[in-house]
Amino acid sequence: MSNPKGKSIKTETSSSTESAFEGGSYGLRSLEGPIGDVARGTWTFFHNIPTVGGAVVGGVGIVVAMEIGVGELLVGLFASYIGYRIFAYGESLTEAVEKTIRLEEGILQDKELMKPVPK
């Protein structure tokens, strides 16, 4: 079948350089640096102002609780306290959950309750 106007159909791109994503995973590897920078910046921000981090985590906890239909306020408060402990004291998630459960049971020691936030 011939082209009715006599013009050839161009099938190649006019780019003079190769695609950055031609190698496959290069595009994903190039995103690791910026994503890590954003994560470090977010961590630093929430570590400097842990009450904001606790409020954000608490809000996420309330949204999740509303979706699955449990006591939203209770889950939100516990999630806030867990987030606060993670961002303020640098505790792991399991440590923060354990101390939140102790707080709820009333057996968390006073030195943990009055622990100053490290700078």
Question: What band does 104 get if pLDDT is binned at 50, 70 and 90?
Answer: confident
Give how far the C-alpha of residue 44 lies from the chain's centroid of Cα atoms, to the nearest Å: 13
Q: How buried is residue 3: exposed, middle or buried, by Cβ count under 10 Å (0-12/13-18/19+)?
A: exposed
Whether residue 113 is predicted with pLDDT greater than 70 in this model: the reply is yes
Mean pLDDT of 81-87: 91
Question: What band does 98 get if pLDDT is binned at 50, 70 and 90?
Answer: very high
Spatial contact of 20 and 27, defined as CB atoms under 8 Å apart: yes
Whether residue 87 is predicted with pLDDT greater than 70 in this model: the reply is yes
% of the chain with per-residue pLDDT over 70: 75
Q: Tell me what pLDDT residue 49 has.
A: 87
Q: pTM for this one?
A: 0.53
Spatial contact of 65 and 46, defined as CB atoms under 8 Å apart: no
Q: Which amino acid is at 74?
A: L
State pLDDT tens for residues 18-73. Answer: 555 555 555 556 777 788 888 888 888 888 888 888 898 888 888 887 787 767 77
